[in-house]
Amino acid sequence: MIKVAMTGVFVDDVATAHAFYTGVLGFETRTRMDLGDGTLFVTVGAPEGAQPDLQLLLEPGEGPIAEPYRRALYEAGLPCIVFSVDDLSTEYERLTALGVRFPHPPRRQGPMLAAVFDDTVGNLVQLVQPDG
């Protein structure tokens, strides 16, 4: 059986993204390697015990493909990734208190509540709380 093990998100600064995704969002570092020339290979994942352990690769977002792609998503108001939470209201309040900017506060979208925040490194990220 094939399973998703890792997915990537382009960021404009890997070190800043790492600090935000761990210090603010609460992910844990899975891999942090210096590849030389200031290049970092960083993956984060949900806090220990969460299953499955899908890792998020914080990819350098420069270059002729990554930068226009990331910018186009952002300018169109489209999230680059979606995270699930058990209680969107509580998470929204927690993140707002930490200074996270939400261009789209929580609202009903079909069978879920959803909100979109700015991850400070060039992306919009959606949080969803499914019904049930």
Residue 48 backbone dihedrals phi, psi, to 5 degrees: -50, 140
Mean pLDDT comparison of 1-15, 41-55, 116-130, highest-scoring range: 116-130
Query: Cα(55)–Cα(46) distance, rounded to whole angstroms?
Result: 8
pLDDT digits (tens, 9 = 90+) for 88-98: 999 999 999 99
Tell me if 108 is assigned to some domain: yes
Check residues 132 and 83 and name the one with the higher pLDDT: 83
What digits encode the pLDDT tens for the residues 44-89?
Answer: 999 876 666 789 999 998 889 999 999 999 999 999 999 999 999 9
**How many domains does the chain divide into?**
1
Domain membership flag for residue 1: no
- The backbone region for 92, taken as left when phi is positive above 0, alpha when psi lies in -120 to 50, beta otherwise, is alpha
| CATH number, domain with residue 76 | 3.10.180.10
CA distance 120 to 69: 17
What's the rounded Cα separation, in Å, for the pair 50 and 30?
A: 13
Q: Is residue 88 part of a domain?
A: yes
Residue that the structure tokens 């299953």 belong to: 51
Does 26 fall in a domain? yes
pTM of the model: 0.90
Q: Which residue range forms the structural domain that includes residue 105?
A: 6-130
Question: Quick check: helix, strand or coil at residue 77?
Answer: coil
For residue 23, what are the CA distances in angstroms to 16, 18, 77? 10, 8, 25
